Structure 1
Amino acid sequence: MADRVSVSCRIGGDLAENQRRKIVDVIVDQGLSLEWDGPDFDFTQFPDDGPLTLFAHEVAWGRLDDLEGFCIEHGLPFVRWAGGYPGQFGPERAVFTGSGDVTLYAADEEEFTVITRNTAERLGSYHAILAHFAAADFQVPHFRFVP
């Protein structure tokens, strides 16, 4: 049986209008909603002027593999937070800026990025630590459909 935790995910960027059905299907399949314990997502719920923000409880391992794969394939930036499961894994923040790799950061249950002493020592300087936090706090752009 999978360890299940809460997740939130913000998605931004430009997506071709002909991909609307596909992203809705992926969101629905992953059990995401616009609010904690909210109604199922549908075509009418895309934001007018901000990132698409989604939530779910009881997500296996805190992973949204299908949605993240879709976002990566289409160059859609996202930030996902997943809660921790005691004795198995801690909370994390995943950041994808629209290209490159997804970067994982340690987080707490309040969705804040945290670092350990080992991470601070590895980063080596106050400026590097601040840069680490700045990268983790990536601001997801507005989500839009384009022709």
Structure 2
Amino acid sequence: MADRVSASITIGGTLPRSLLPDFFALIQEQGLSTEWDGEPFTPAMVREGMSLELMAHEVAWGRFERLESWCVEHDLPFARWSGGYCGQWGAERAVFTGAGEVQCYAADEDDYLLIGRCTVERLGSYAAILGHFAAGDFAVPPLRLMP
């Protein structure tokens, strides 16, 4: 049985309307909602021109693996926060900017980024530390639907 924690994901970028059925199916498969303890997601909850914020409790390993992979495959930027599981892993934020690799950042249970001494030493300068925080605080763009 998978360890489960609360998690949220914000998705944006440009999505062809032809991919909406697959996108919606993945969201519904995960049992996501647009509010904590809210009603299950329905397509009517999408507001074009705004990023899509989704959340759930009891998320296996704190990741939306199929949805995240699908977003990467279709170049849809996202930021995911997941809570920590005592004795197994700490809270984290995962960021995908729409290109490259998903980057993970240590966070706390309130989704504030954290760094330890080893990260400070690896980064080496105040400017690099600020850059690390800026990258982790990626602002997910609005979700735009194209024909």
Structure 2 Cα separation of the partners of residues 43 and 9 of structure 1: 16
SS of 1:81's partner is strand
Amino acid at match of 1:83: G
Offset at 1:2? 1.2
State the partner residue of 1:17: 17
Q: Percent identity?
A: 56
Calculate the TM-score normalised by the size of structure 1: 0.98
Listed as ranges, the matches of 1:1-147 within 5 Å are 1-147=1-147
Query: What is the letter of the counterpart of residue 90 of structure 2?
Result: G
Q: Is 2:48–2:145's contact at 8 Å kept on the other side of the alignment?
A: no
C-alpha displacement of 1:48: 3.2
* Structure 2 CA distance for aligned equivalents of residues 40 and 23 of structure 1: 15
The 3-state SS of whatever aligns with 1:2 is coil
1:11 deviates by 0.3
Q: Please tell me the residue identity of whatever aligns with 1:98.
A: G
Provide the secondary structure at the position in 2 that maps to 1:90.
coil
TM-score, length basis structure 2: 0.98
Question: Runs of at least 4 residues of structure 1 off by over 3 A?
Answer: none
CA distance in 2: counterparts of 1:45 and 1:73, whole angstroms: 23
Q: In the TM superposition, what is the alpha-carbon distance from 1:31 to its structure 2 partner?
A: 1.1
Measured after TM superposition, the shift of residue 75 of structure 1 is: 0.4
Give the C-alpha shift of residue 84 in structure 1. 0.1
CA RMSD of aligned residues (A): 0.7
